[in-house]
Chain A
Amino acid sequence: MNRREKENIIVSFWGVLLVLGASLLFAAVLIFLLSSEPLPAVKYFFTGPFLSRYFFGNMLDAAVPLIFTGLGISLAFKASLFNLGGEGQIYMGALVTTVVCLALPEFNGLAGGLTALAAGSLAAGLLAALSGYLKVKWNVDSMISSFLLSSAVVYGVNFFITGYFKDPSSSLLSTPFIDSRYFLPHLMNPSTLSTSIFFALGGAVIIYFLLYRTRWGYEMTMCGLNPEFARYGGVNVSSYVTMPFFLSGLMHGLGGGFAVLGTYHMSIKGFTSGMGWGGIAVALIAKNNPLGVIPAALFFAYLNAGSKAAMLHTDVTFEVAAVVEAFVFFFITSEVIFSFIRRKRRSLL
């Protein structure tokens, strides 16, 4: 890396930090205005996640699925593909992981867990790959097809969780618990944080390596930047539509699978809801850099945990917290979108 590059990275780093800071400040102002006990609300919003091991661990744990989905989105984005089906893919990955664990009770913990994860991520990967396939085969818009497929799948998964696989003894709309031998070790009791975070961090490093150091990542990036050029250069362009989608779905599926093995130990109706969309925000903040996904997911989780803490301790309602999050999301994405437009415009000139 030369000096210029370093400077550029530093400049954009401060740029992102500035936006994040501004959005936090904005969130504070918003809570301040909407709450009848503004000072404690703001205080809990900012410090809540650090007040106890429990909150802190939960915040870290909440970042894990976001890292996976953020990686999935970034990956597809590099190939200029927009995977809007994250919600369905992560949900599907979670359910399949759960079901495999339930079906293999006598397997030993590690091999069984790995089998379940593999099955879950494969299912999600295939679901996503379908959008890629439809695009290659019939030129179906992959953004739309991934979204529609995922919406349908969410209903399908709901049906299984609340019907076929429902635990009759539980009052929750959920499957039974998986065998405790499949649980990932917890790290920060009593929080839900588990060793799944190491898998998430490892995943980011692997994806980074894949994108920037391998032939495959290079070809995919070139297809994303200018498919005509990639084709001219001898790259098999059509293979870089289905494959990135598959891998993107795979990451989502892993996100769902780890949520089951590490955090929830079962599938509950709607329990991954929002993680797919969150992944898009995370990828946007990270500018699709797989290593950037880690801090971006942490920031997002912090925001979430902060609003939860404020809700818990003060009169801040769920709606207020949601509005705050939405505004911050808006802030971040608009910055990213502006810089995207700027870049586009510059390239036109």
Chain B
Amino acid sequence: MAYLTMENITRFYRDNHVLANSNVDFELRRNEIHALVGENGAGKTTLMKILYGLEQPDEGRIFLNGSEVFIRSPLDANRYGIGMVHQHFRLIPDFTAAENIIFGMEPKRRLFFLNRREAEEMVRSISDQFGFDVDPSAVVKNMTVGEKQQVEIMRMLYRNDETLILDEPTSVLTGRQIESLFYTLKKLTRAGKSIILITHKLNEVLSIADRVSVMRQGKVKGTYRRGEVDKKELSQLIFGRDVQFFAGRGVSSGHKFAGKKIFELKNVSIRSGDIKPLLDSICLSVSPGEIVGVTGAAGNGLRELEDVVSGLRDLSGGQVFYHGEDITNFSVHKFREKGFAYVPADRMKRGSSLQASLKQNLIIINHDGFSRFGILNRRRINSFVSKKLRQFSIDGNPDLPLHLLSGGNIQKTVLARELSIETDFIIFSEPTWGLDSAAGEYVYKKIRTHRDKGKGVLLFSSNLDEILGLADTVFVLFHGRIAGRLDNDGSLTKELVGTYMLGLEIDE
């Protein structure tokens, strides 16, 4: 039985003349997990924002239990039991988990603020009921993405939402975190909730969704029950072709990388007051034609190491070399002068400037090359920008602010920029977060091309399929140390890497 129906929804963005949703029909049943898939910019987020009251449709109606409802704001949505976790989290970093969860809907029993202990108690009871694993008194900015996400979900549960919308919840999670998220989602449907799940990972759709709706260019192409379509058909429906994402392990001949090194870390450590260092004696090197993969569970030093190699964070000890030259504690400015390219995991704050235009975002590292005597050559900039937009099929107006782009198109903008520089060393951190399979496939191809041209690639990823599919050498971090250095010679398995990630196995 249809419980929530969106009928004939149309949304046209006047700012950039985009028809984001065009006569969309969508139907959600009670207790189902309904996956919503489609390529970057297909209109998934827009449709869900309409359901959540963040956007108003130009046309169309929404029915709940058969009667029409008007959702003008998230407050209205909440009244109808609809909650949403956004593609990019919106928690307040300085608040605790409990404070974030009750924020905006504090219990009205008291005249003044309720006491902290009481709030934490309420949160703890939700946590126990559904098996979450978050300390209610922990401050959000110190949390891993997985924990933040749990906080976002608990927030909806606290508000008694019946319909839960999750916009790409899995794109930033590690394999284990995804498993536990899915476990929770299953449990929630059994408790009577209905869930809409946006994702780009077709395996997830097949494994967890009861039904799946496919969007393409603002339209819903169809809705299918579990078992009705397989991965290949889904991919056909989404892209109009079969996309070989994650297919094949592009291991490079398994040859040994000896001698020349492009980039090297020697005994790198970071201590920040505590007894336990964030990074402890990291030794690692990247040779020409090598993809070095670095992985680890969240909170084990991956992000810190990323900051070190990109020059954003100073070391407490150890050295960094580039072609044998000591560049320890170099500034990012120097780093860029050396011509390094770097795709950061944090694309929204570090990797892009959301208020700046798409064009301004694309030229941040090479605008020097477009200027003579300090004057920018606009014609050359424009032709560069339109070339990049074409090359990476970025859907957006170069002169409008970046935040108007869809999530995936913002990601592509960062990639397009970093891949445009000629360099022999590139750092990728979580390169496929938020990308649809076609774009992901393209990025993998690019990474392999770099390797095959004899360049060095340092790949940070919490996605083991990605690591095993790309890396020649795999480093696993555990508690800030290298638990293992593994050759990806074809015999390496996810399970083995997993045991290192959990610290069950540590090589000395």
**Which listed residue (B90, B337, B364, B400) contacts A229, Cβ 8 A?**
B364
**Which listed residue (B310, B356, B367) contacts A226, Cβ 8 A?**
B356
**Which listed residue (B54, B335, B344, B374) contacts A214, Cβ 8 A?**
B374
**Which listed residue (A215, A226, A228, A236) contacts B355, Cβ 8 A?**
A226
Stretch at the interface among B131-139, B267-275, B346-354, B484-492: B346-354
* A4-B397, A232-B344, A347-B403 known; A218 vs B367 contact (CB < 8 Å): yes
**Which listed residue (B90, B337, B371) contacts A234, Cβ 8 A?**
B337
Q: How many residues belonging to A are interface residues under a CB distance threshold of 8 Å?
A: 26
Query: Across the interface, do B350 and A229 meet the contact criterion of CB distance under 8 Å?
Result: yes
* A215-B375, A232-B350, A349-B54 known; A221 vs B356 contact (CB < 8 Å): yes
* A215-B368, A215-B375 known; A232 vs B312 contact (CB < 8 Å): yes
Max count, chain B CB within 10 A of own CB: residue among A4, A5, A230: A4
**Which listed residue (A215, A232, A347) contacts B367, Cβ 8 A?**
A215
Q: How many residues belonging to B are interface residues under a CB distance threshold of 8 Å?
A: 37
Least CB distance from B77 to A in Å reads 13
Q: State whether the Cβ of A180 lies closer than 8 Å to any Cβ in chain B.
A: no
* A226-B354, A226-B356, A347-B355 known; A233 vs B365 contact (CB < 8 Å): yes
In the bound assembly, the distance between CA atoms of A218 and B40 in angstroms comes to 29
Which A residues lie within 8 Å of B191 (CB)? none
Query: Across the interface, do A226 and B349 meet the contact criterion of CB distance under 8 Å?
Result: yes
In the bound assembly, the distance between CA atoms of A348 and B355 in angstroms comes to 11
A window 188-236: CB within 8 A of B: 213-216, 218-219, 221-222, 225-226, 228-236
Least CB distance from B322 to A in Å reads 15
Which A residues lie within 8 Å of B367 (CB)? 215, 218-219
Query: Across the interface, do B333 and A225 meet the contact criterion of CB distance under 8 Å?
Result: no
Query: Across the interface, do B364 and A222 meet the contact criterion of CB distance under 8 Å?
Result: yes
Chain B proximity mask over A319-349: 1 for CB below 8 Å, otherwise 0: 0000000000000000000000000000111
Query: Across the interface, do B90 and A225 meet the contact criterion of CB distance under 8 Å?
Result: no
Which B residues lie within 8 Å of A235 (CB)? 333, 364
Chain B proximity mask over A250-278: 1 for CB below 8 Å, otherwise 0: 00000000000000000000000000000
Q: State whether the Cβ of B16 lies closer than 8 Å to any Cβ in chain A.
A: yes
Which A residues lie within 8 Å of B399 (CB)? 1-2, 4-5
| Chain B minimum-CB-distance residue to A8 | B15
Least CB distance from B49 to A in Å reads 9
Chain A proximity mask over B154-174: 1 for CB below 8 Å, otherwise 0: 000000000000000000000
Query: Across the interface, do B376 and A218 meet the contact criterion of CB distance under 8 Å?
Result: yes
In the bound assembly, the distance between CA atoms of A231 and B351 in angstroms comes to 10
Q: State whether the Cβ of B189 lies closer than 8 Å to any Cβ in chain A.
A: no
In the bound assembly, the distance between CA atoms of A218 and B367 in angstroms comes to 9
Least CB distance from B379 to A in Å reads 12
Q: State whether the Cβ of B360 lies closer than 8 Å to any Cβ in chain A.
A: yes
In the bound assembly, the distance between CA atoms of A221 and B353 in angstroms comes to 11
Which B residues lie within 8 Å of A232 (CB)? 310, 312, 332, 342, 344, 350-351, 364
Query: Across the interface, do A225 and B375 meet the contact criterion of CB distance under 8 Å?
Result: no
Which B residues lie within 8 Å of A347 (CB)? 354-355, 403
Query: Across the interface, do A218 and B350 meet the contact criterion of CB distance under 8 Å?
Result: no
In the bound assembly, the distance between CA atoms of A232 and B313 in angstroms comes to 11
Chain A proximity mask over B275-319: 1 for CB below 8 Å, otherwise 0: 000000000000000000000000000000000001010000000
**Which listed residue (A216, A225, A234, A348) contacts B356, Cβ 8 A?**
A225
Query: Across the interface, do A230 and B364 meet the contact criterion of CB distance under 8 Å?
Result: yes
Q: State whether the Cβ of B17 lies closer than 8 Å to any Cβ in chain A.
A: yes
In the bound assembly, the distance between CA atoms of A75 and B364 in angstroms comes to 20
In the bound assembly, the distance between CA atoms of A78 and B342 in angstroms comes to 27
Q: State whether the Cβ of B336 lies closer than 8 Å to any Cβ in chain A.
A: yes
In the bound assembly, the distance between CA atoms of A5 and B17 in angstroms comes to 12
**Which listed residue (A4, A213, A231) contacts B16, Cβ 8 A?**
A4
The 17 sampled A-B contact pairs (Cβ below 8 Å) are: A2-B397, A4-B400, A5-B399, A214-B375, A215-B374, A218-B367, A222-B356, A229-B349, A229-B356, A232-B342, A232-B351, A233-B336, A234-B333, A234-B337, A235-B333, A236-B333, A349-B54
Known: A229-B349, A231-B332. 10 other contacts (CB 8 A): A213-B378, A214-B374, A215-B371, A218-B363, A218-B367, A222-B360, A222-B364, A228-B350, A234-B336, A347-B403
